[in-house]
Structure 1
Amino acid sequence: MNLIGQQITVLGAGIAGLSVARALAMRGVSVRVLERAPEITEVGAGIQISPNAGTVLRALGLEREFEEISVTSRGAVLRDYRRGADVLRLDLSKFGRFGLVHRADMVGMLADAAREVGVEIETGVSVSEVSLAGEIPVLSLEDGTTREVDFLVGADGLRSKLRAALLGAETPDFTGHVAWRALLPLEPGEVPPEAHVFMGPGRHLVAYPLRGGRMLNLVGVHETGTWTDEGWHHPGDPAEFRAVFSRFGAPVRGWLERVEQVMVWGLFKHAVAPRWQGSNAVLMGDAAHPTLPFLAQGACMALEDAWVLAECLSTMESRSAALACYERIRAPRCRRIVDAATANARNYHLSSAPVRGVAHLGLRVLGKTLPGFMPDRFDWLYSHDVTKTV
Structure 2
Amino acid sequence: MSSSAPAPGIAVIGAGIGGLTLAAALARLGIGCRVFERAEQPAEAGAGVQLAPNAVRLLRRLGLSDSLRRYGVRPLSRDLLRWDDGRTLARTELGEECEKRFGAPYVTVHRADLHRALRDLAGAVVRTGHRLTGLTEGPGAVELRFADGSEHRAELVVGADGIRSVVREHLAADAPVFSGRRIYRGLVPVERVPELAEPRVRVWLGPGRHCVCYPVSGGRLISFAATTGGTAHPGESWTAIGDQDEVAEAYRDWHPTVTRLLGAGGGIGCWALHDREPLARWSSDALTLLGDAAHPMLPFAAQGANQAIEDAFALAATLAMSRGDVPEALRRYQEQRIPRTQRLQQSARSTAIGSHLPDGPLQRARDAELARGSALDGLRWVYGHDALAAAARWTSERQQA
Please say whether Structure 1 and Structure 2 have the same fold, judged by a TM-score greater than 0.5. yes
Is 1:132 aligned to residue 137 of structure 2? Answer: yes
What fraction of aligned residue pairs are identical, expressed as a percent?
35
Matches within 5 A, 1:106-117: 106-115=114-123
Cα deviation code 1:329-378 (max 9, x no counterpart): 111000011110111101110113343234324433x1xxxx43x32011
Instruction: Tell me the CA shift for residue 231 of structure 1.
Output: 4.1
Select the residue among 74, 77, 83 that pairs with 2:76: 74
- In the other structure, the counterpart of 1:165 is 170
Distance 1:172 1:149 in 2: 27
Is 1:240 aligned to residue 246 of structure 2? Answer: yes
Instruction: Tell me the CA shift for residue 134 of structure 1.
Output: 4.4
Instruction: Tell me the CA shift for residue 202 of structure 1.
Output: 0.6
- In the other structure, the counterpart of 2:288 is 282
Is 1:331 aligned to residue 338 of structure 2? Answer: yes
Deviating above 6 A after TM superposition, structure 1's stretches of 4 or more consecutive aligned residues are none
Distance 1:134 1:156 in 2: 24
Is 1:340 aligned to residue 347 of structure 2? Answer: yes
Contact 2:45 2:238 in 1 (8 A): no
Cα deviation code 1:17-68 (max 9, x no counterpart): 1111011112222211111111214111101000001121122222222222
Contact 1:8 1:153 in 2 (8 A): yes
Instruction: Tell me the CA shift for residue 257 of structure 1.
Output: 2.3
SS state of the match for residue 306, structure 1?
Answer: helix
Instruction: Tell me the CA shift for residue 135 of structure 1.
Output: 3.6
Contact 2:164 2:176 in 1 (8 A): no
Select the residue among 2, 16, 19 that pairs with 2:18: 16
Distance 2:24 2:232 in 1: 38
Distance 1:89 1:136 in 2: 52
- In the other structure, the counterpart of 1:59 is 61
Distance 2:237 2:349 in 1: 18
Is 1:270 aligned to residue 271 of structure 2? Answer: no
Cα deviation code 1:233-257 (max 9, x no counterpart): 3211111110011111121111122
- In the other structure, the counterpart of 2:207 is 201
Contact 1:75 1:98 in 2 (8 A): no
Cα deviation code 1:115-147 (max 9, x no counterpart): 2xxx21111112111222544111111122322
Distance 1:126 1:322 in 2: 27
SS state of the match for residue 29, structure 1?
Answer: coil
Contact 1:5 1:30 in 2 (8 A): no
Instruction: Tell me the CA shift for residue 299 of structure 1.
Output: 0.8
Instruction: Tell me the CA shift for residue 83 of structure 1.
Output: 1.2
Stretch deviating more after TM superposition (332-341 or 259-268): 259-268
Select the residue among 207, 219, 232 that pairs with 1:213: 219
SS state of the match for residue 255, structure 2?
Answer: coil
Give the direction of change, closer, same or farther, for the CA distance of 1:85–1:278 in structure 2 (3 Å limit). same
**Residue type matched to 2:145 in 1?**
S
Stretch deviating more after TM superposition (195-204 or 128-137): 128-137
- In the other structure, the counterpart of 1:150 is 155
Q: What runs of 5+ residues in structure 1 fail to find an aligned partner?
A: none
Contact 1:232 1:265 in 2 (8 A): yes
- In the other structure, the counterpart of 1:360 is 367
Contact 1:186 1:213 in 2 (8 A): yes
Is 1:88 aligned to residue 90 of structure 2? Answer: yes
SS state of the match for residue 254, structure 1?
Answer: helix
Count the aligned residue pairs: 379
Distance 1:309 1:223 in 2: 36
Cα deviation code 1:299-355 (max 9, x no counterpart): 100111111111111112321221111111111000011110111101110113343
Contact 1:175 1:267 in 2 (8 A): yes
**Residue type matched to 1:2 in 2?**
S
Instruction: Tell me the CA shift for residue 2 of structure 1.
Output: 2.3
Contact 1:179 1:220 in 2 (8 A): yes
Matches within 5 A, 1:280-319: 280-317=286-323, 318-319=325-326
Q: What runs of 5+ residues in structure 2 fail to find an aligned partner?
A: 393-401
Contact 2:179 2:273 in 1 (8 A): yes
**Residue type matched to 2:153 in 1?**
E
Distance 1:231 1:344 in 2: 24
Distance 2:259 2:32 in 1: 51
Instruction: Give the TM-score taking structure 2 as reference length.
Output: 0.90
- In the other structure, the counterpart of 2:380 is 379
**Residue type matched to 2:177 in 1?**
D
Stretch deviating more after TM superposition (15-24 or 256-265): 256-265
Contact 2:70 2:218 in 1 (8 A): no
**Residue type matched to 1:60 in 2?**
L
